[in-house]
Structure 1
Amino acid sequence: MGTTHDEAAGPRRRSLLQAAVGGSAAAAAAGATTLTGQAAAAPAGTAAAPRSGGRFDGESPRFALAVLPDTQYLFDADSADPDPLRATFRYLVAERADTNIAFMTHLGDVTEHGTEDEIELAADTFGELDGKVPYSVLAGNHDVSGSDDQRGDSAYLRAFGPDRYARMPTFGGASPDGYNSFHTLRAAGRDWLVLALDWRVSDNGLRWAQRVLDDHPTLPAVLTTHDLAWAEDDGEARLSDNGRRLWDGLIRGNDQIFLALGGHYWPPGRTVLTNDAGNDVHVHLTNYQDRYYGGAAMIRLYAFDLARGAVDVETFAPWFLTRDPERRTPLEAENVELTGPADRFGLEIDFAARFAGFSPVPAPEPRPASDVLVRGTVAYWRFDRAGLPGAADEGAPVADGRVVRDLSGHGNDLTARRLHTSGDGALTWSAEHHVGQPAHASLRFDGGQGPDRGALLSTRRDAPLNATRFTGGYTIETFLKLPEPFVGEHAWMGVLSWEGRSGDAGKTTGWSTEEPTCSLNVSPERFLQFVVYPHVQDADPTSWSHALPVGRWTHVALVNDGRRTVMYVDGSRIARNPTQRSTGIATLGKPFVIGGTQFAERYGQGFYGWIGDTRIVDRPLTPRQFLTPYR
């Protein structure tokens, strides 16, 4: 309908929505690169030449869904101007590869009157996307007449009916009346469903939509329609009457639908509702036709990041981005990008947990040790029955003297012992593990300060690992998890180390000659610290990670190529890796230890948390070769 909720309910006093000045909008006004990825513009009055569309990556964990709300004022009889929409489409084509745009969906009210001329011009404009970016369009009340999707033939249906989408690889089908359609798309390594529903779905249409969901029971679904929700200036969306019908008749009972998008009303807004399965459904209202130039074909990008468990949302007008920033009019500059809380925001979504009810991800099976004994493996320890015979129930103590076998066959077995007067609880067995860990088991260390307590696993005095110097490079990997809540004093607790004093190895340039020659520790800020005294140099190059999360497993890899050392966390190279030369490890023939770090050849506290599979290889490995492979 293209109206505010308040116009339907009666006049009221409203403040004008103002675009915030600052952030990336200010950068856009200055011609700098914005969050949209758009660089400095072409000369005034000209459109920037689009780059090649490139290839969309359906396996990347990051992709974007483009959402285009009401464009009716751009197709309004003899006042029509399709140029803003053409600029938006050219942007999507040009940015498809760089932004990894999977799909675009229009939310209805393509035109103002739904006449043959308006529809024909709009259909021609949408041709900019054909064969380049897949998309869906649905009817708004300005595009059609009649009460619901049983209205029969129309100019809209002839231009935007099923025939238009038939050649798109995403098109899955349409309802018999032709006004409702669905698409399936491959993104982030899985299939997704987009439902494009008429502005007034009949009972037949609802039954059709339910069949589509039933036929695709494991696909997360985005529902799009024209009339779903309205909002006031507070940005809090409320279901409209039609939205309530969709909620009760389709959305709330289908856990697949996690995101529902509508236009029709303004100002924009959003809310989160709880469905019958007890899960969140994000309901968003997007419409900018009340803004300058009928919204100027503003696009909203939903940037999905399954690696972070987040969706980053931004709203901007590609048409204004093509203007020379120095020559933009005040209204163009104001509307380049919208930064209000209903226009630019982030969603935190644990996708695996949210989709578990209809599309559970099967847990990987444990992998035998033989699968990860790569060439050059010096030692490999795991805490299931293969590595720790007799591993028992959750929380069962691992007694002093218990042996953890070195499954590499090189004789670097570990023996458990407690520190100081620590009791049974200082070292216990656990079935907890990183999802990518070969063994589905770990050890829980309960170390701490004041009084010092903890437990260790250490090699025997004559183990080969004790004196191995790794001058050709090395890879040290482990899995660890910090408890949540992270309580007590645990500053500078050790994860793994070699015993001995760096001073006894002739090293004088480090922080102290009393620290060991190689150790992985956790700082008071929960940063990982890997400090190594090389076999060759008198130096102590040290890598520092970011702050580790609590309550979540982390994979850590320390890779040395014979020249320098690089730390990886969850397969990602960290920033604070020293460029200082580092060849080998200045081992002293003393034991290798998991669970603590000495100072002045004395242990204080032990590690606090879980440690899983640990492997040492005498050469540098790539992330694809880690215990849990990364792209």
Structure 2
Amino acid sequence: MSARRVPDADIHMKPSEHAMLKFFRRAGAMVLALLLALPAPAVSAGRNFTIAVIPDTQTYANFRHQKAEGFPFDAADLMKQQFDYIAAHSAPRGGDIRFVAHVGDVWEHATIAIDPAHVARGFKAAPNPFLAKYFAPTTKVGTVEIPLAEEAFDKIAGLVPFGIAPGNHDYDAMWTDIRYPPFPVVDPANKRSLGVQHVGGLRSFRSTFGDRSRFFAGKPWYVASHDGGADSAQIFEAGGYRFLHIALQFNAPRSSLRWAAAVLRRYRGWPTILSTHDYLTPLGERGSDPAMDAHGIDPKDGSPQILWDELISRHDQIFLVLCGHQSGEARRRDKNAFGHDVDQLLADYQDRHQASIDAGLSPPPPPLGDGWMRLLGFDMDAAVPTIRVRTYSPHYGKDSRALATYAAWYKAAERPDLTDAQFLDQSDFVLSLDDFRQRFGPGRSAP
């Protein structure tokens, strides 16, 4: 790793500030000691490893998509297959998966109509037939959807570190602001016609995946949290480097960005991956989903551009950003304020419905996602490190490029402007990390 420079601000501190800085440095040293004390990974050759990225699983956990509700099969099995695959290919079991990032929308439905915090601030909800039809609050979030998600995560708990960035469906309430109600006639091509939707309340998320939850409490690799775990940080070791992962909540407010900046200072110089829910559009633009772009309505809400301008671009150690929410795939590369590359990847497959067609469901078949997920294969033995990005479905047991019908199934609905070859290149490609060693040093030798 590159040598650490003591910031000028450290030199001009008050005695009390020096004491506080020493405290945090001692705490960081303790975390490092805990990390080094973790069991040695099963993989013994080379420095290559994989990060599994789980896009929106809301359609799998949806209580309406289970046999108990009359659905022809349990859609939750598609999610469980993903986690079974990760467990089987985790490092402790002889594989090379060292970390898992879920980019949000773990489950589908809300639990309340509007959260008390927004009511107290004077917000009011407008009637929304679309939300009432598809996402009305239900107690089955707690009795069906969350237990299904917990069952899936139990498959990897204790095997591999993971982080979860809460998506809009993981909030207690999703509602439409009365100042921006739905149009009388909904235009499917215009998401604004659905009204501008807010989210609020994270009681269910915190109780399931918060910093005091059984998945994270006391784990040495779960190193920081904010807002009860709505924002969180994890560390893992792979490929000769120690990595930091930060998961930020949906429309992350500036308080979340300030917290993340403090975590980055604490782990200064560590290569960092940031996950959040809504960040890239399917065309690779940094922009919110139009139906959820509430930044101009609620000053506490952030936006993708604010996230880039005020956090990502200002911290050189962030080299990769992951997101979901907006159906499709996209990628872009930008230079940060230091002139270094930041790769940003969108993957969200929730609108794919071939599994429903296979089950003989009548058109229009309900979209599920067909089990597609992302596998990021890091080649750290190469002179220039690379990431091989694969899109894989345990349900079909194939990579996108190995499935002859892949483009025929999905291209027309997602990117009809592309050729089949170009569409495949959206799902399977290689990123060259040209300045990785310049930023983070040569790394340590393989075990």
TM range, normalised to the smaller chain?
0.5 to 0.7
2:344 corresponds to which of 265, 278, 283? 283
Preserved CA contact (<8 Å) 2:246 2:274: yes
Partner residue, 1:141: 168
State the alpha-carbon separation in 2 of the partners of residues 332 and 318 from structure 1: 18
Is residue 90 of structure 1 aligned with residue 84 of structure 2?
yes
308, 327, 349: which one aligns with 1:266? 327
Which residue identity is paired with 2:313? R
Residue of structure 2 equivalent to 1:604: none
SS in 1 for 2:250: coil
Write out aligned runs for 1:319-468 (5 A): 319-321=395-397, 340-350=424-434, 352-355=436-439, 359-360=440-441
What letter is aligned with 1:128?
A: K
Identity across matched positions, percent: 31
Q: Quick check: 1:69–1:287 contact (8 Å CA) kept in 2? A: yes
- Return the letter of the residue paired with 1:342: Q
Residues 1:116 and 2:142 aligned together: yes
User: What residue is the counterpart of 2:154 in the other structure?
Assistant: 127
In 1, Cα distance between the equivalents of 2:103 and 2:372? Answer: 12
Q: Could you say if the C-alpha distance between residues 630 and 107 of structure 1 is closer, same or farther in structure 2, counting changes exceeding 3 Å?
A: closer
Alpha-carbon shift at residue 127 of structure 1 (Å): 1.1
CA contact (8 A) 2:88 2:95 kept: no
Structure 2: 5+ residue runs without aligned partners? 1-39, 67-74, 111-140, 175-196, 294-302, 356-367, 411-420
Matched, 1:157 2:206: yes
The counterpart of 1:312, out of the listed 388, 407, 414, is 388
Residue 250 of structure 1: aligned partner: 311
| 1:170 Cα deviation from its structure 2 partner | 2.0
Partner of 1:229, secondary structure, is: coil
Residues 1:298 and 2:372 are matched in the alignment: yes
2:60 counterpart letter in structure 1: L
Q: Is the 2:329–2:347 contact (alpha carbons within 8 Å) kept by the matching residues of 1?
A: yes
SS at match of 1:271: strand
1:214 and 2:240 equivalent?
Answer: no
The residue aligned with 2:282 is 231
List aligned pairs for 1:30-69, cutoff 5 A: 55-57=41-43, 60-69=46-55
What's the offset of the Cα at 1:176?
Answer: 3.8
Amino acid at match of 1:116: G
- Structure 2 CA distance for aligned equivalents of residues 100 and 128 of structure 1: 16
* Alpha-carbon contact 1:57-1:187 (below 8 Å) kept: no
Q: Distance in 2 between matches of 1:149 and 1:161?
A: 21
Distance verdict in 2 for CA 1:153–1:141, change over 3 Å: closer
2:185 is matched with which residue? none
Counterpart-to-counterpart distance in 2, 1:332 and 1:259: 27
CA displacement at 1:311 relative to structure 2: 0.9
Partner residue, 1:509: none
Deviation at 1:190, TM superposition (A): 1.6
Distance 2:224 2:314 in 1: 22
Cα 1:142–1:150 change in 2 (3 A) is closer
Distance 1:59 1:331, change over 3 A: closer
Corresponding residue of 1:79: 65
User: What is the distance in 1 between the residues matched to 2:282 and 2:171?
Assistant: 24
Aligned: 1:192 with 2:243 = yes
Instruction: State the SS of the aligned residue for 1:199.
Output: coil
Q: What is the deviation of 1:330?
A: 7.2
CA gap 1:193/1:70 in 2 versus in 1, 3 angstroms: same
TM-score by length of 2: 0.61
Distance in 1 between the 2:373 and 2:348 partners?
Answer: 10
1:141 Cα deviation after fit:
0.5
Cα pair 2:50 2:98 within 8 Å, conserved: yes
Q: Distance in 1 between matches of 2:306 and 2:148?
A: 33
SS at match of 2:229: coil
In 2, the alpha carbon distance for the partners of 1:291 and 1:149 equals 25
Distance 2:44 2:274 in 1: 21
Q: Which has the higher helix share?
A: 2
CA contact (8 A) 1:68 1:297 kept: no
Higher strand share: 1
- What is the identity, as a one-letter code, of the residue corresponding to 1:264? H
1:105-140: per-residue Cα shift (whole Å, max 9, x none)?
100011111422312221222111111222111211
**In 2: Cα distance, 1:219 partner to 1:283 partner:** 18
Once residues 72 and 184 of structure 1 are traced to their aligned partners in structure 2, the CA distance between those partners, rounded to angstroms, is 26
CA contact (8 A) 1:237 1:283 kept: no
- Aligned CA RMSD, in angstroms, stands at 3.2
CA distance in 2, matches of 1:295, 1:194: 25
Give a deviation string over 1:204-253, Cα, whole Å, max 9, x none: 21111111001000101000000111023xxx444447211110121010
Using the alignment, how far apart are the partners of 2:309 and 2:103 within structure 1? 20
Q: Secondary structure at the match of 1:177?
A: helix
- Secondary structure of 1:314 counterpart: strand
Distance in 1 between the 2:375 and 2:152 partners?
Answer: 20
> Is the Cα–Cα contact under 8 Å of residues 286 and 305 in structure 2 kept in the other structure?
no
Cα distance, 1:149 vs. partner?
12
Whether contact under 8 Å (1:70, 1:108) holds in the other structure is yes
1:138/1:226 contact within 8 Å kept: yes
Structure 1 residues 146 and 214, CA gap change in structure 2 (3 angstroms) = farther
Shift of 1:313: 0.7
Shift of 1:297: 2.9
Change (3 A) 1:126 1:348: same
Query: Aligned pair in 2 of structure 1 residues 110, 201: CA closer, same or farther (>3 Å)?
Result: same
Shift of 1:57: 3.7
Q: Which amino acid aligns with 2:375?
A: L
Q: Which has the higher contact order (CA 8 A, sep 6+)?
A: 2
Tell me the amino acid that sits aligned with residue 72 of structure 1. Q
Q: Which moved more, 1:144-153 or 1:341-350?
A: 144-153
What is the distance in 1 between the residues matched to 2:247 and 2:83?
19
Give 1:102's aligned residue.
98
SS at match of 2:342: strand
- Aligned length, in residue pairs: 300
TM-superposition CA deviations, 1:518-549 (whole Å, max 9, x none) = xxxxxxxxxxxxxxxxxxxxxxxxxxxxxxxx
Letter in 2 for 1:172: V
Q: 1:59: how far off? A: 8.0
